[in-house]
């Protein structure tokens, strides 16, 4: 059975259709072609024609022509539209004309790098020319690194390796930096928030070193569809960019379904588990030999779904290896094996986090199931693009969770299908991120008087003097030199603001590394007695050593997984902006956030019921970040004839709702923003709802929320008003035990007060 036949079956299934809020069909679209630019080397054109590419899509020809004319370019077209040719053709053309020229390719993940090198090497072999193309990342053997530095015409890496493994050692990369003509940045939409802010500073360091070696590379950027690709690319590379978005690639027919699991408790508004529904639907496709990808919002959900689907395959009498999980923390060899298995059709279902959202070649998948909204319109379309990549008929099913964000999107399909994707936000001048990279830049080359690094020369000098006062730098005449013993890049993670990852060791197997997790997530995920899941295998954590960045695990067999809870305290350090709005005051400023994991719950597989709990004994952690908050009048409880406890529940309910709709207003991951309701905030002594960024220093989301205050409150009011529950549920204000018996109506009144409606 193929995807088209499955779609016909679903159309005639009244029970399935009764839970749909949208069935959106995207018609197939033919290709629009253009010829190869005349300036390309005839041998290069001949090679691609032999490979079956006799003409280019319109966007490919436009992009290549612009690059050949010396412009920086940003190509924005959907998944599987052939963006790779937009940079490979002009780069190969230049390398054929000048064998001394060099190019640097940056991809956000190692998997993408491996994918690109395979494609490039195959093309170069067909050309019968000598162009060295090598991957340089953490998996590159030490014995091969010298060859990459000396013979690599195209060096394929990721921002992390450029940051920590190439720029600090530029003196042994002279051949690359003296002759660097192109820097390719693929999936630039992925570099939003903290990752993009870090990348912008890494590129500042790169351009600084290039200037030292008298080179001035062109930038070629590629992106999936977002609202502000040109602005975002120019903010990251800090150069003018030509936007190419006239997509000429063909697309197959796609059926995009919004599925809301049935309500199992109407009074409490509780719906059937999205994980169980995704598992049931995916198992149905597996039984019909239809290859599919299932996306899940977290590592834990990936492992739970993988476990359920493997059990389903076993019941069908098939090999359990037809189903595999895929997420960060797996070892590189494991990830490559899974990618290869998908391309070769040996794996029929893969359950993944957004790690497979990017353009890794995993073959032609027929079905994409999303267990929960991806967090943004752009990411959702990226995930949907993984199905039907060969212009075939494809089925995409978004299964909503009970989370308010999911319920808002599933209840407003027109918002998703009729609105353009969100804008990407980066803040290269975030003080913590900027200062960290100035340390790295000083290690690479001394700063000189009057030099600017992102900021104006005076502000740059102010930070350099601060570092000199703390004996990190030393000023001699008109130059600042690195003087500390430490190697700065090692302590800076581009993915988070945390200093490095925690590795997870299997103590039953001589301390074998089975995975890793970022430092800030470790207390929640791998605390003592936590259950860590890896490819559906279960491990219990015996010890977490945050100082040594290690978690010690051993295999177990239990029928539950764990989920941790934290206690959070907030203090306002500085107010950047404030303005009266309606009967409240909206504010934006700097916050001190202290959090402490307190307990963990044991959640039973299958039923998802709470079967126990335990305490977590770890030290509290503090960070400074930026936030947006709403202050209500001190007498708001009296105005509304509410007790203090009822007001506290209403604030908690509104905070919960706002946090869920906030990612719709700013392009960010739901985990980038956290929320807290306080009956009496320490600084103002007023009832307050805080939304704050979960990364030190923040990266600009708080300012956006402050600006979009009316839209944010309107979205919250819409969600609360239209939720079918009586007085609050997990789909609008959170669990009734936390929101109270009247949390929904009270939160709605507070939201209207803050909006003056």
Portion of the chain with pLDDT greater than 90, in percent: 51
Instruction: Please name the residues in contact with 470: beta carbons below 8 A apart, sequence gap of 6 or more.
Output: none
Exposed/middle/buried for residue 633 (C-beta within 10 Å: 0-12, 13-18, 19+):
middle
pLDDT band, very low/low/confident/very high, at 437 (cuts 50, 70, 90):
very high
For residue 165, the 8-state DSSP code is I
Residues facing residue 473 across a β-bridge: 482
Distance CA 187, CA 157 (A): 13
Q: Collapsing DSSP states into helix, strand and coil, what is residue 76? A: strand
Hey, is 754 helix, strand or coil?
helix
d(CA 648, CA 644): 6
Instruction: Outline where 213-273 has alpha helix (H).
Output: 229-237
* Residue 252 CA neighbour count, 13 Å, CB half: 23
Q: Is the pLDDT of residue 327 over 60?
A: yes
Please, what are the domains in the chain?
3-21+252-418 (3.40.50.300), 33-244 (3.40.50.300), 431-491 (1.10.10), 501-558 (no CATH), 563-755 (no CATH)
Dump pLDDT digits (tens) for 438-457: 999 999 999 999 999 999 99
**Greatest CA separation for the chain:** 82
- Per DSSP, 695 falls in state S
Q: Which of 83-97, 209-223, 280-294, 377-391 has the lowest mean pLDDT?
A: 377-391
For the chain, give the number of residues. Answer: 757
| Residue 319 C-alpha from the chain's centroid | 32
pLDDT digits (tens, 9 = 90+) for 156-206: 999 999 999 999 999 999 999 999 999 999 988 888 777 888 999 999 999
The whole-number pLDDT of residue 390 equals 57
Rg (CA), the chain: 26
Burial (0-12, 13-18, 19+ Cβ within 10 Å), 329: buried
Q: Which two tokens stand for residue 184?
A: 């390719």
More confident residue, 260 or 660: 260
Q: Which of 179, 191, 182, 181 is nearest to 234 (CA)?
A: 191
Query: pLDDT tens digits, residue range 413-429?
Result: 987 888 767 677 788 88
Residue 301 contacts residue 309 (beta carbons within 8 Å): no
What the block records as the tokens of 327 is 């997420």
Mean pLDDT confidence for 476-499: 79
Confidence (pLDDT) at 584: 93
Band of residue 586 on the pLDDT scale cut at 50, 70, 90: very high
Q: How many CB atoms lie within 10 A of CB 264?
A: 11
Segments in 247-367 forming alpha helices (H)? 274-287, 299-315, 332-344
Confidence of residue 57 (pLDDT cuts 50, 70, 90): very high
Q: What is the SS3 assignment for 259-278?
A: ECCCEEECCCCEECCHHHHH
Kindly indicate the confidence band of residue 642, based on its pLDDT and cuts at 50, 70 and 90: low
Burial of 581 (0-12, 13-18, 19+ CB in 10 A): middle
Mean pLDDT of all residues in 301-327: 92
pLDDT of residue 496: 55
Q: How far apart are CA 533 and CA 254, in angstroms?
A: 34
List, in sequence order, every beta strand (DSSP E) within 40-132: 56-57, 73-76, 102-106
Which range in 247-256, 382-391, 728-737 is most confidently predicted, on average pLDDT?
247-256
Token pair 């491990």 is at which residue? 539
Query: What's the pLDDT score for residue 535?
Result: 65
Sheet harboring 154-157: ordered strands across? Answer: 133-135, 154-157, 102-106, 180-185, 218-223, 73-76, 242-244
Return d(Cα 562, Cα 590) in angstroms, integer.
Answer: 33
- Mean pLDDT, residues 490-519 taken together: 77
3-class secondary-structure state, position 667: coil
pTM of the model: 0.74
Q: By 3-state DSSP, what share of the chain in percent is helix, strand and coil, each rounded to 5?
A: 40, 25, 35
Q: Where are the alpha helices (DSSP H) in 477-538?
A: 522-525
| DSSP at 29 | B
């Amino acid at each position: 059975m193929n995807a088209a036949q499955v779609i016909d079956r679903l159309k005639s299934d009244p029970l399935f259709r009764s839970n749909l809020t949208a069935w959106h069909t995207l018609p197939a679209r033919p290709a629009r072609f253009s010829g190869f630019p005349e300036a390309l080397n005839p041998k290069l054109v001949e090679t691609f024609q032999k490979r079956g590419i006799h003409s280019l899509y319109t966007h490919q020809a436009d992009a290549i022509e612009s690059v050949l004319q010396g412009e920086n370019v940003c190509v924005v077209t959907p998944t599987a539209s052939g963006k790779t040719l937009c940079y490979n053709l002009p780069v190969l053309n230049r390398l054929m004309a000048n064998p001394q020229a060099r190019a640097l390719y940056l991809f956000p993940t190692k998997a993408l790098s491996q994918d690109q090198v395979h494609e490039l090497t195959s093309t170069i072999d067909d050309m019968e020319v000598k162009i060295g193309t090598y991957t340089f990342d953490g998996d590159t053997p030490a014995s091969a690194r010298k060859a990459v530095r000396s013979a690599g015409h195209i060096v394929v890496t990721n921002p992390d390796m450029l940051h920590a493994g190439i720029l600090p050692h530029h003196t042994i990369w002279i051949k690359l930096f003296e002759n660097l003509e192109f820097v390719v940045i693929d999936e630039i939409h992925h570099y939003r928030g903290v990752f993009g802010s870090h990348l912008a500073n890494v590129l500042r360091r790169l351009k600084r070193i290039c200037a030292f070696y008298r080179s001035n590379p062109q930038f070629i950027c590629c992106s999936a569809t977002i609202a502000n690709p040109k602005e975002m690319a120019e903010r990251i590379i800090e150069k003018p960019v030509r936007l190419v978005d006239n997509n000429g690639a063909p697309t197959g027919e796609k059926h995009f379904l919004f599925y809301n699991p049935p309500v199992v408790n109407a009074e409490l508004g509780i719906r059937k588990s999205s994980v169980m529904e995704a598992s049931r639907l995916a198992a149905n496709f597996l039984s019909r030999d239809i290859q599919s990808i299932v996306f899940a919002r977290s590592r834990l959900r990936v492992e739970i779904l993988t476990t359920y689907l493997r059990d389903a395959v076993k019941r069908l009498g098939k090999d359990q290896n037809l189903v595999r999980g895929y997420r960060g923390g797996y070892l590189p060899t494991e990830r490559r094996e899974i990618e290869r298995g998908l391309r070769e059709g040996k794996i029929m279902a893969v359950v993944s986090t957004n790690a497979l959202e990017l353009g890794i070649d995993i073959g032609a998948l027929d079905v994409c199931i999303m267990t929960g909204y991806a967090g943004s319109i752009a990411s959702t379309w990226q995930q949907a693009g993984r199905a039907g990549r060969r212009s075939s008929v494809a089925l995409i099913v978004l299964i909503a969770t009970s989370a308010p964000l999911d319920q808002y999107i599933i209840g407003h399909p027109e918002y998703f299908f009729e609105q353009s994707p969100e804008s990407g936000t980066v803040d290269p001048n975030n003080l913590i991120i900027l200062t960290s990279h100035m340390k790295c830049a000083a290690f690479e080359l001394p700063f000189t008087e009057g030099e600017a690094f992102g900021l104006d020369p005076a502000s740059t000098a102010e930070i350099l003097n601060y570092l000199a006062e703390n004996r990190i730098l030393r000023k001699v005449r008109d130059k600042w030199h690195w003087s500390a013993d430490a190697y700065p890049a090692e302590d800076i993670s581009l993915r988070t603001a945390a200093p490095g990852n925690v590795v997870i060791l299997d103590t039953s197997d001589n301390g074998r590394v089975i995975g890793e997790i970022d430092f800030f997530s470790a207390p929640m995920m791998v605390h003592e007695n936590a259950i860590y899941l890896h490819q559906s295998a279960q491990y219990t954590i015996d010890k977490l050593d945050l100082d040594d960045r290690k978690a010690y695990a051993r295999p177990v067999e239990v029928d539950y997984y764990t989920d941790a809870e934290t206690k959070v305290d907030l203090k306002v350090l500085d107010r950047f902006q404030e303005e009266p709005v309606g009967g409240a005051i909206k504010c934006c400023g700097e916050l001190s956030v202290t959090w402490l994991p307190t307990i963990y719950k044991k959640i039973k597989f299958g039923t998802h019921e709470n079967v126990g709990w335990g305490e977590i004994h770890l030290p509290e952690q503090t960070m400074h970040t930026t936030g947006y908050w709403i202050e209500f009048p001190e007498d708001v409880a009296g105005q509304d004839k509410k007790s203090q406890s009822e007001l506290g529940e209403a604030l908690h309910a509104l905070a919960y709702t706002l946090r869920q709709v906030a990612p719709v207003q700013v392009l960010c991951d739901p985990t980038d923003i956290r929320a807290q309701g306080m009956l009496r905030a320490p600084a103002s002594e007023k009832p307050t709802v805080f939304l704050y960024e979960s990364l030190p220093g923040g990266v600009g989301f708080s300012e956006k929320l402050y600006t979009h205050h009316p839209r944010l409150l309107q979205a919250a009011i819409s969600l609360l008003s239209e939720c079918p529950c009586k007085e609050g549920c997990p789909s609008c204000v959170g669990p009734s035990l936390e929101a109270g018996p009247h949390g929904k109506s009270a939160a709605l009144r507070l939201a209207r007060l803050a909006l003056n409606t």
